[in-house]
C-alpha cells in the first residue's frame, strides 16, 4: 500500500501531507504506524501516542480492499472499518488503497 506513494501522481498528491496514521487489526491484535512526510511514507509496528488518524478493521477486510473485491467506502459504510480523524485526510488515503 505505502509503496504506491512513490508513483509520480500519488507522490504529488501526498507532498504536503504530514500525518501519522495507525491501522489497528483487531483480529490480529496488531497495530501498524504509517508516517507520511514530504511525499514519502514509512511503516513501523506499534501505536504512537497521538496519531492524526486511526483506522480499525480486520485482516480479511483490508485484504479484500487491496485485491479490489471490496471498496474502502463500502467497508466503511458497512461498519467493517472504523475511522477516526479528519474526513479529508481519510479520503485522501483511499488513493493508496485502490487495487493495483
* pTM of the model as a whole: 0.81
Overall domain count for the chain: 1
Mean predicted lDDT score pLDDT of the chain: 88
DSSP 22-89: EEEETTTTEEEEEEEETTEEEEEES--SS-SEEEEE-HHHHHHHHHTSS-HHHHHHTTS-EEES-HHH
Tens of pLDDT, residue by residue over 39-80, are: 888 999 999 989 999 999 999 999 998 898 998 889 999 999
Here the CATH number for the domain that contains residue 41 is 3.30.1050.10
Q: What's the pLDDT score for residue 18?
A: 94
The mean pLDDT of 31-42, rounded to a whole number, is 90
- The whole domain housing 88 covers 2-97
Whether residue 1 has pLDDT greater than 80? no
Amino acid at each position: 500500500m505505502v509503496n504506491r506513494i512513490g508513483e509520480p501522481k500519488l507522490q504529488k498528491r501526498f507532498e504536503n501531507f504530514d500525518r501519522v496514521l495507525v491501522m489497528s487489526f483487531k483480529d490480529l491484535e496488531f497495530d501498524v504506524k504509517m508516517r507520511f512526510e514530504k511525499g514519502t511514507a514509512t511503516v513501523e509496528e506499534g501505536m504512537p501516542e497521538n496519531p492524526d488518524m486511526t483506522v480499525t478493521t480486520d485482516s480479511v477486510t483490508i485484504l479484500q480492499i487491496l485485491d479490489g473485491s471490496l471498496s474502502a467506502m463500502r467497508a466503511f459504510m458497512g461498519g467493517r472499518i472504523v475511522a477516526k480523524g479528519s474526513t479529508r485526510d481519510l479520503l485522501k488515503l483511499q488513493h493508496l488503497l485502490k487495487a493495483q
